[in-house]
Amino acid sequence: MGRVASHERARPGLVHFVAIVWSTIVGVAMFGALSTLRTPARAEAARPPRVLPCQGEFEEHPLGTPSGFVGDPPVSNTARFTTTGEPFLITYRSDWHEGGFLDIGSPERRARVDLGDAASPPVFDEQSYGPQNSEYEQRIDLDRYVDADAAPGDYWILISGGADMTLYTCVPGSISAVEPAVD
């Protein structure tokens, strides 16, 4: 048997290396192409429709974009409202881009909603990265409703991530004096 030169033995390793690199490139390209097919309209179609639990009339109260804390020192941009103490619903919509090469999550997006007494403006807490004087904190999914209960009174409200918020009530007149956040 003849002797094989060392440069000829290296070729199978090189072929494996090229095959692995090529497979990775093709796989990444296919994943990116498939993930861009999930546009916001397609993701919206995949969600069940939003249905208010109201049996009749309801009121809608847009709050603008009551963002959390921004700047240095952190300052909040709250929305305000008054409630009679009846339960209400909170929802938000966002312009977050969905789909694309790096979006490997679900179409669901979560945000943090904080609610507090209007007489005590939100105070930034470095530990929780939110207001330390929040009376109500809830995680909420994009385009979903969460139930909220608050004693009668005046409140501020914030959401993480900068999104358009809306309050709904099934008891007309139970939410009033709405002051949307200043955009």
Q: What is the pLDDT of residues 22-69, one digit of tens each?
A: 676 755 555 444 443 333 443 343 344 467 788 888 999 999 988 866
H/E element, 59: strand 59-64
The span from the CA of 156 to the CA of 154, in Å, is 7
What lies within 8 Å, CB to CB, of 70 at 6+ separation is 76, 77
Architecture of domain 59-179 in this structure = Sandwich (2.60)
- pLDDT tens for 111-144 read 889 999 999 988 888 787 778 888 888 888 887 8
H/E element, 128: none
Cα→Cα distances 97→35, 56, 149, Å = 12, 34, 32
The span from the CA of 146 to the CA of 168, in Å, is 10
The span from the CA of 183 to the CA of 53, in Å, is 30
Claim: this prediction has a pTM higher than 0.75: no
Reported confidence tier of residue 168, pLDDT bands at 50, 70, 90: very high
Phi-psi region of 48 (alpha: psi -120 to 50; beta: other; left: phi over 0): beta
